[in-house]
Amino acid sequence: EDQVTQSPEALRLQEGESSSLNCSYTVSGLRGLFWYRQDPGKGPEFLFTLYSAGEEKEKERLKATLTKKESFLHITAPKPEDSATYLCAVPFHTGFQKLVFGTGTRLLVSP
């Protein structure tokens, strides 16, 4: 069964306290993994695409990494403005490339 699981569901950090979010998936023949950020009342905003195990991408305080079974979104020295829900998604090919989303990790960074 196509599945994308994110953990934890929610994470509360102090400003400057680094941590990681996890996205695990079950799919054969990975065709990419996407990370999005979603602010309350807004649409998902694209962050990264990773295509192969060992790949890493960075943007400001965020770094995404990929293994054969999971991806991590590392947040280094977060700031309150990093508070958001982070979604990951994986394409599953079932006649059509369907993006399957995880339910997200709600991140709250306190000053």
Partner 1 sequence: NAGVTQTPKFRVLKTGQSMTLLCAQDMNHEYMYWYRQDPGMGLRLIHYSVGEGTTAKGEVPDGYNVSRLKKQNFLLGLESAAPSQTSVYFCASSNGQGALGETQYFGPGTRLLVL
Footprint (CB under 8 A) of partner 1, residues 32-71: 32, 34, 36, 41-46, 49, 51
Give CA–CA dist 31/90, Å, rounded: 8
Tell the smallest beta-carbon distance from residue 8 to partner 1 (Å).
14
Give CA–CA dist 21/28, Å, rounded: 22
How far from each other are the two terminal CA atoms of the chain, in whole angstroms?
Answer: 41
**DSSP assignment letter at 77:** S
Looking at the DSSP assignment, which residues form a beta bridge with residue 49? 34
**DSSP assignment letter at 54:** T
Q: Which part of the chain contacts partner 1 (CB under 8 A), choosing from 13-21, 30-38, 66-74, 75-83?
A: 30-38
Footprint (CB under 8 A) of partner 1, residues 82-111: 87, 89, 91, 93, 96-104
Tell the smallest beta-carbon distance from residue 105 to partner 1 (Å).
12
Interface residues with partner 1 (CB under 8 A)? 4, 31-32, 34, 36, 41-46, 49, 51, 87, 89, 91, 93, 96-104
